[in-house]
Structure 1
C-alpha cells in the first residue's frame, strides 16, 4: 500500500509503484490541472511539488518534479502538491498566479500550470530570491506562446515580493501572503505521523531497480508499470556525499544531480562545479535523476558519466549476497547500452580521488539549447599541471562513439607536454583517431569532430594555454 498526502488529502492506494504519478493524479484522482505534454520530462506542463519531511522532523522540503516520470511509489510518505492544492479556500489567485496574469505570461494556458508550480516551489525553497534564482526555477518549463519575456517579468515581480520572506518561519509568512494555504503549516506533523505508521514498500522478486524514474518511465513506462520494482530513490543509505580520511570522495548511488549541485564539499573541491551541473537537464529533472541512473542508462552522451570519467571514478557493485567488487567507470561500458555488470549486481557507491592544488577539472557541453537539452557533444578534462607542464591527464568525450569515452591515448599524449598550441594540435590528431562519431539529428560526423576539437581547446585554455586562436 502506498500512503502519501495529495494536497490536503491522505491517499492510500494499491496502484502499481512503477506507474507514473501523473497518471494517478489525473485519472485516479481527476485532478486535471496537471497537464500531459511531452511525457519525457522536457516541457514541464506536468510539474508538481513533492515535499519530504526533513531530518529535524519539523520542516518539509519541497522540490519541483515532473510527474510524468515520477514513479508513484516514490511518493510514499511525502506531500504531493498539484495546482489545485495551492489556492486559498476563497479561490483568489496566489501571488505567483497574479504575477503571471499581470505580465501577460499566459496565452494558450497549457504550460501555465507548470510555470506556476515551478515558481511556487521556488517560493517554498531555501534559495535566495535573486532575479537569477527566480528565473532559474523555470528552467524545466517550456512555453511556445509568450517568448518568455513576459514570464521573466513575472518572475522578477515575484522575486521582489519574496524579498520580504524571512529566513526563519518562512512557511507562516508564505501562508499569510497567500503563496500557499494554511494547511501547509500542519503538514510536518502529519507527515511525521504518517512515516511512523508506514513501512518501506517491500521489493518483489525478481525486481526491476527503479530510482528517480527519469529514464525508465520515459522509455518503458508500460513495462515498468506491469513489473515488480525495487524502489531505491529514498534509501538513505544510498544517498549522501562524503570525503574519507584518505581524501577520496564517495557518493551514494541514489544521490541526485541536485545533491551534487548543492554540495558544499564538491563546490569547494571543484571550482566551477555549480556552473557545470546547471548544464545537466533542468531543475525538476535534477531533483529526481540519480547518479547511478545516469551511469546505468549508458547513454553515450550522459553528462554526469562524462564528468566522472574525467574525475577517475570507480564504482562499487554489490550482488544479492552482499559481496562487493570495484570497477573503474571507464571499464563499465562494453558496447552500446551494454554494461560489465552481472544481472544480480547493483551499483551502490561511486568514488573518485579529490582534486589537489595544481589540478584542473573542466566540463563543456554543446547543445541546441543551453539548458534542458541533450548534448550534441560533451567533454570533460582533469589535468595536473606543474610549471606549465601537464603531468597527468584524463580527457573524456560523449556523442562521438557508441559509449561514453575515456580518451586514453589522447590523455597519454598530453602527459609530460607543456600547455601550448603545439600540444593542442598534436592532441587533436590523436583524439580524432580515437573517436567514431555518426551523423544524426544533432549534427554531422564532421561537425561533431570539430566540436570536440573546440572543447579540447577550451580545456587547455582553462589549464593556462595562452595563444591567439584562429
Structure 2
C-alpha cells in the first residue's frame, strides 16, 4: 500500500460535473447537495431513511456492458464517497421553471397531491424511479401512448416509503397510477385535467409522457470512467489521506486490517450505510472501508442445490433473483418486498442486515425468514473461511469488525410436499415499519404407506422481533410435530409448547401481545397446512375408503381452551 493524495470525488448532479476534494468521509450525499450545489429539492426529514423527503435517483455506469443502472436512494444515508463516478438526479433535474416541468410533477400538481411541498420532491423521484425501472423491462409489451410500462399494483407501492403529513395518500397514488397502462382512469380522483362525472377521462388530457426524455447519465462522465479504468486497475490500494478506502479484493481488505491505519474504534466498514438509519453513529468515524468493490462479495450463483447471494447484494437485487425461483424462493421474495422501503432496499444489503441482526438486538425480518429456509453463511476470520448454519451464526458472540460475511446460501427445497409461509405484524404493511413479531415456517410432509396418513416429515419454525436478542427456532415445538398428523389436539399441544418457548426479554413492550401474535401465526400455519393436506388427500383419493382418517380440521373442532386463548390474547386486526 502506498500513501498518496486522495483522489477527488467526481459526480454529476442533474447533468453538471462536480468535484469534491478532501471532503470528510462521513459527509452524506444530502449534505453535499444542499451545501455545494444549487439543489434544494431533497430535504433532511427523519435522517433515518424512513420518510422519503431526501430521495434522489442514483445512476451507475458499467463500461464493460455500456449499460446504465438507475435506482432511488436516501441521500441522507448515502455517503458522498460511495457515489464517486455516479450521476445523481434530483427533482430539479427532471423539471424546473426554466426548462419546464416533467409530467410527474405536473400530474402531482393536477391531482392535488401536494400542499406544503416539503415531501413532494422525494415523491417525484420515487415515482420517476419506478417509471424508469418499469420502462426498462424488456419482457413487457410497449404501453399505449401517454402511459408507461408501470402497472397499477407497482404504482401503489412506488411511494410506499414516502411520508406525507398534509395531503393524504389517495391523490399521490392517483397521480402515480395515471402512468400505469392497466389503470382505469375513471377510478382516479378529482383533478384539474377533466371534470369528474361531466367529462370522459382520457389520457390525452393528461400531461404527455414519453420514456427516456430525461438523460440520467451524461456522456462526459462515461468518458471519464472509461479513461480511468486502466489507471485504477494498475494502482495499489492507497493509504488514503481523506479516510476512504476501496479494497478490490479480500486480500487487500485484510492488508488494510493489518496496517497501522486500522483501528476498530475509528474505522467503519460500509457497503451502503443504511444501518446508520437504525443505529445512529455515536461519533463520526475517521476512516471508512467501502467493501462494495470486492467482486467476491457481489456473487449470485444459482445451482440445483440452491442460490448463493454475496453479502453486498442489495435487497432489491435479491428480490429480483429469488422471484424467479421455486415456491420457497418466491415466498422469501414476497416477504422481502415488505421490508423497509424501495429506496432503502435498493442500497441496503442482505449481508449487512444479517450482520446487524447478529451483533445487535435488531428486529430483522430477513434473518427470520432465511433461518426458516435452512440458510447457511460463509464468513472469513483472518485467513480462515468458516461455514455455519444461520442459526449457529446468530447464536455466536457478536462478531467483531474484522469478521467478514462473504455469502448467504439458501437451499433448494423444491415444491413437492413442501409448505412455506411467512408472517409479520407491524404498524404498517409496507414502508419502513419494524415488526412487532415476525415468523416463517417450513414443513415437508409425506404419506405414510401403512396408515395412508399425511405426516409432518420435517419442520422448521422460526420467530423473531418479539423481544429476544435474535431470531430463534422453536426446537421443542418442531420435535413434537415431527412424525405427527395435524389435528386439533396436536395444534393445541404445539401452542402450549410455543407459549413456553417465546419469552420476550425483560423490558420488552407488550410481551403478552407479542406472544399472542406468535401463537396466532403458528395456529394459522398449522390449520392451513391441515386443510391443504385434506384437500390433497381428497384429490388423490388416498382417504377414499377411510373417511374417519381424513385430515379434516375446522375451527369448531378445536378445544375451547385454544379458542379462549386466541380470543383473549390476539386481536383479529393483528393477524395479517
TM-score, scaled to structure 2: 0.72
> Quick one: structure 1 residues 385 and 55, their matched pair in 2 at CA, closer, same or farther if it must change by over 3 Å?
farther
Identify which of 489, 493, 497 aligns with 1:422.
489
The answer for the alignment partner of 1:171 in structure 2 is none
Secondary structure at 1:220 match in 2: coil
The answer for the alignment partner of 1:399 in structure 2 is 465
**1:258-273 matched pairs, under 5 angstroms:** 258-264=316-322, 267-270=325-328, 271-273=330-332
* C-alpha deviation, 1:148, in angstroms: 0.6
Secondary structure at 1:16 match in 2: coil
> Is it true that 1:8 corresponds to 2:43 in the alignment?
no
The answer for the alignment partner of 1:364 in structure 2 is 423
Deviations 1:403-433, CA, capped at 9 Å, x for gaps: 2212222222221111233222211211111
The answer for the alignment partner of 2:540 in structure 1 is none
The answer for the alignment partner of 1:351 in structure 2 is 409
The answer for the alignment partner of 1:202 in structure 2 is 246
* C-alpha deviation, 1:21, in angstroms: 1.5
> Is it true that 1:375 corresponds to 2:435 in the alignment?
yes
Deviations 1:262-291, CA, capped at 9 Å, x for gaps: 115653352434422211111111111111
Say which one has the larger Rg: 2
> Quick one: structure 1 residues 55 and 183, their matched pair in 2 at CA, closer, same or farther if it must change by over 3 Å?
closer
Deviations 1:296-349, CA, capped at 9 Å, x for gaps: 11244201000111111111111233x2011221122348xx52x355220111
Secondary structure at 1:450 match in 2: helix
Distance 1:160 1:39 in 2: 35
Distance 2:227 2:457 in 1: 56
Check conservation: 1:96, 1:119, Cα contact below 8 A: yes
Secondary structure at 1:53 match in 2: strand
Secondary structure at 1:312 match in 2: coil
> Is it true that 1:432 corresponds to 2:499 in the alignment?
yes
> Quick one: structure 1 residues 115 and 440, their matched pair in 2 at CA, closer, same or farther if it must change by over 3 Å?
farther
Distance 1:147 1:227 in 2: 42
* C-alpha deviation, 1:194, in angstroms: 6.4
> Is it true that 1:58 corresponds to 2:66 in the alignment?
yes
* C-alpha deviation, 1:182, in angstroms: 4.7
Identify which of 263, 287, 294 aligns with 1:235.
294
Check conservation: 1:311, 1:353, Cα contact below 8 A: yes
The answer for the alignment partner of 2:386 in structure 1 is 325
> Quick one: structure 1 residues 232 and 80, their matched pair in 2 at CA, closer, same or farther if it must change by over 3 Å?
same
> Is it true that 1:468 corresponds to 2:529 in the alignment?
no
Check conservation: 2:63, 2:225, Cα contact below 8 A: no
The answer for the alignment partner of 2:337 in structure 1 is 278
Identify which of 7, 28, 45 aligns with 2:36.
28
Identify which of 171, 178, 184 aligns with 1:150.
171
Secondary structure at 2:117 match in 1: coil
State the number of aligned residues.
Answer: 453
**1:453-464 matched pairs, under 5 angstroms:** 453-464=519-530
Distance 1:183 1:342 in 2: 39
**Quick check: 13-22 or 293-302, which moved more?**
13-22
Deviations 1:76-112, CA, capped at 9 Å, x for gaps: 2221112222226843110000000000000111111
Secondary structure at 1:332 match in 2: helix
Which sections of structure 2, spanning at least 5 residues, go unmatched? 1-6, 138-148, 185-206, 238-244, 248-255, 448-453, 532-551, 556-562, 564-576
Identify which of 406, 411, 415 aligns with 2:478.
411
> Is it true that 1:73 corresponds to 2:81 in the alignment?
yes
**1:67-216 matched pairs, under 5 angstroms:** 67-87=75-95, 90-126=98-134, 128-160=149-181, 177=210, 180-182=213-215, 184=217, 186=219, 189-190=222-223, 192-193=225-226, 196=229, 199=232, 201-202=245-246, 205-206=261-262, 207-216=267-276
> Quick one: structure 1 residues 121 and 191, their matched pair in 2 at CA, closer, same or farther if it must change by over 3 Å?
farther
Distance 2:182 2:528 in 1: 39
* C-alpha deviation, 1:221, in angstroms: 4.1
Secondary structure at 1:158 match in 2: coil
> Quick one: structure 1 residues 186 and 55, their matched pair in 2 at CA, closer, same or farther if it must change by over 3 Å?
closer
Distance 2:461 2:503 in 1: 16
Secondary structure at 1:307 match in 2: helix
Check conservation: 1:34, 1:45, Cα contact below 8 A: yes
Check conservation: 1:240, 1:251, Cα contact below 8 A: yes
Distance 1:135 1:198 in 2: 45
Distance 1:122 1:187 in 2: 26
The answer for the alignment partner of 2:308 in structure 1 is 250
Deviations 1:340-365, CA, capped at 9 Å, x for gaps: x3552201111132112222221100
Distance 2:523 2:79 in 1: 41
Identify which of 371, 378, 381 aligns with 1:316.
378
Taking only aligned residues, the RMSD between alpha carbons, in angstroms, comes to 2.9
Secondary structure at 2:326 match in 1: helix
* C-alpha deviation, 1:160, in angstroms: 4.6
TM-score, scaled to structure 1: 0.88
Distance 2:422 2:434 in 1: 15
